Amino acid sequence: MEFLRSILSAALLLSLAACDDEPVVEPVPITQRAPTPAPAAEPAAAPEPVRTHMREHFRFARAARTGLIRGDIEATKAAMQELARLQTIDGLPANLEPMLPPLRAAAAGIESAHTLREAGVAVAKTLVACSACHQRADTGPNFAIPPLPEGDTVQIHMQRHRWAADRLWEGLVQPSDEVWNSGADALSDSRLDPADLDIPDELRGTAAALVQHVYDLGEQAKSATTPDARADVFGHFIATCATCHRLVHGGPDPDSPPGE
């Protein structure tokens, strides 16, 4: 026991000493990317311009997602068209060039979407094209998981929905099982009572069915393990948010316009 305690306190001292001496590094959240063999010739991190372009793509993809959750097809299409126009990225390693045409094609798929559900699937397939390149590059974004909003008001439930939608989205883009599953889990822990919604009584039945559908999709998200299965769940999921926000004329505020 005494022995154990002295080992523990020595370890503690060592770790404290390490804290003092070590340079401050950005915390890197744990990812669950499948270990891929280190590329022989390419350095793991691409040069700065790729990163800068990526932040733009990120904004467009996010604007598409938020536009869709609000039920705003025009905003979604405008953001997706930016991605569909993407010709090249400065500094992109040559082995990643072939990953761009599938991204453009997936983003252009929004043009033939006539329903919220089809638009949702087009957005989700685009995110899978993002993740395919990150996997090939063996680099990409590292999303930290922020704390889940706590509480039981309608607004908090909606913020939890958004939290879940963000994690599912990031889980697709990164890609990361851990981030994806945290989104799915948040949905099964959340139970919005449709009776609490401040909406006309004649909409209550439809709203209850939509809420239930959101939670059912959360369950499906848990068992979806391939990128395609996840894209399908995610597309239907955000289309369901959109359907209710249109119905009740509510929902989140728009993101700041893309490209700002």
Measured from the CB atom, the residue of 119 and 173 that comes closer to ligand HEC is: 173
Site for ligand HEC in 30-49 (CB under 6 A): 45-46
The rounded distance, in Å, linking the Cα atoms of 179 and 170 is 7
User: How far apart are CB 114 and ligand HEC at their closest, in Å?
Assistant: 21
The rounded distance, in Å, linking the Cα atoms of 166 and 144 is 11
Query: Does residue 148 touch ligand HEC according to CB under 6 A?
Result: no
The rounded distance, in Å, linking the Cα atoms of 79 and 63 is 6
Site for ligand HEC in 211-240 (CB under 6 A): 211, 214, 237, 240
Using CB under 6 A, pick the residue from 76, 139, 176, 190 that binds ligand HEC: 139
User: How far apart are CB 117 and ligand HEC at their closest, in Å?
Assistant: 13
The rounded distance, in Å, linking the Cα atoms of 104 and 15 is 48
Residue 213 to residues 78, 96, 206, 258, Cα–Cα distance (Å) = 28, 38, 11, 30
Tokens of 234: 């995610």
Query: Which of these segments, 35-43, 109-117, 208-216, 227-235, binds ligand HEC (CB under 6 A)?
Result: 208-216
Query: Which of these segments, 16-24, 110-118, 132-140, 222-230, binds ligand HEC (CB under 6 A)?
Result: 132-140
The rounded distance, in Å, linking the Cα atoms of 137 and 241 is 33
Tokens of 207: 């709203």
Using CB under 6 A, pick the residue from 50, 73, 110, 231 that binds ligand HEC: 50
The rounded distance, in Å, linking the Cα atoms of 87 and 213 is 38
Tokens of 215: 């939670």
Q: Which residues contact 32 (CB under 8 A, 6 or more apart)?
A: 176, 177, 178
Using CB under 6 A, pick the residue from 140, 175, 183, 258 that binds ligand HEC: 140
Query: Does residue 99 touch ligand HEC according to CB under 6 A?
Result: yes
Q: What angle do CA 34, 237, 59 make, to 5 degrees?
A: 65
Query: Which of these segments, 32-40, 133-141, 177-185, 226-234, binds ligand HEC (CB under 6 A)?
Result: 133-141
Nearest to 134 by CA among 178, 86, 99, 182: 99
Query: Which of these segments, 15-23, 30-38, 117-125, 203-211, binds ligand HEC (CB under 6 A)?
Result: 203-211
Query: Does residue 103 touch ligand HEC according to CB under 6 A?
Result: yes
Query: Which of these segments, 6-14, 176-184, 228-236, 241-249, binds ligand HEC (CB under 6 A)?
Result: 241-249
Residue that is written with structure tokens 């010709």 in the block: 87
Give the residues lining the site for ligand HEC (CB under 6 A).
45-46, 50-51, 54-55, 57-58, 61, 69, 83, 92, 96, 99-100, 103, 126, 129-130, 133-134, 137, 139-141, 154-155, 158-159, 161-162, 165, 173, 194, 197-199, 207, 210-211, 214, 237, 240-241, 244-245, 248, 250-252
